[in-house]
Amino acid sequence: MKARLVAVGEKAPVWVAEGFAEYQKRLSHWLPLELVEVAPGLRGKGRDAARAMADEGGRVQAALPRGGWVVALDGRGKAHSSEQLAARLEHWRQQGRDLAFLIGGPEGHAPEVLAAADETWSLGPLTLPHMLVRLVLAEQLYRACSLLANHPYHRA
């Protein structure tokens, strides 16, 4: 099983890119994680945010892996402890499908994207900046893989 992170937003700051690359490297033998960045829709004076969200939503859907199990990151979604996430990861492994994790834009996910997702995942009720969400997601996937492998990274 491998995973693809489809994230609205480009040009991550260096501290995010380096942190993400570190967890990507650590995950490489447990859950290869590919990052696909999607250009945000155009916003600003005279531009409709709903149109921008729909545009980026279309690009997100075009970037989904064929037949993948789609998990949309959303603050209003389903929360998991790290142990519950590890159990979820084991469940996903047994399904035998690749995974796609989605991070939305400034107003969140387009309704069509949420409707197409198989499940949602909340990192908690706080609204996090989308670049930080990449990093937390990669770290928590690494933690979940460590738990499943009885690796000492996660000490309960």
Ligand X SMILES: C[S@@+](CC[C@H](N)C(=O)[O-])C[C@H]1O[C@@H](n2cnc3c(N)ncnc32)[C@H](O)[C@@H]1O
Q: How far is the CB of 91 from ligand X (least distance, A)?
A: 19
User: At its nearest, how many Å lie between ligand X and the CB of residue 102?
Assistant: 7
The CA distance from 9 to 114, in Å, is 18
In whole angstroms, give the CA distance from residue 7 to residue 4.
9
Min dist CB 146 to ligand X, Å, is 21
Residue given tokens 């909340």 in the structure block: 122
114: contact with ligand X by CB under 6 A: no
Q: Figure out which of the listed residues 12, 23, 33, 74 binds ligand X, where binding follows CB under 6 A.
A: 74
Beta strands in the chain (DSSP E): 3-8, 33-38, 69-73, 99-103, 119-121
Q: What angle do CA 50, 109, 75 make, to 5 degrees?
A: 130
In what side-by-side order are the strands of the sheet with 3-8?
Answer: 33-38, 3-8, 99-103, 69-73, 119-121
Q: How many CB atoms lie within 10 A of CB 135?
A: 20
| The one segment of 10-18, 44-52, 62-70, 126-134 that binds ligand X by CB under 6 A | 126-134
Instruction: Check binding of 108 to ligand X (CB under 6 A).
Output: yes
The nearer residue to ligand X, 60 or 145, going by C-beta atoms, is 60
Is 103 a binding residue for ligand X by CB under 6 A? The answer is yes
126 scored as a contact of ligand X (CB under 6 A): yes
Give binding residues for S-adenosyl-L-methionine as ranges.
Answer: 73, 104, 123-128
Residues at the contact surface with ligand X, assessed by CB under 6 A: 73-75, 103-104, 106-109, 122-124, 126-130, 133
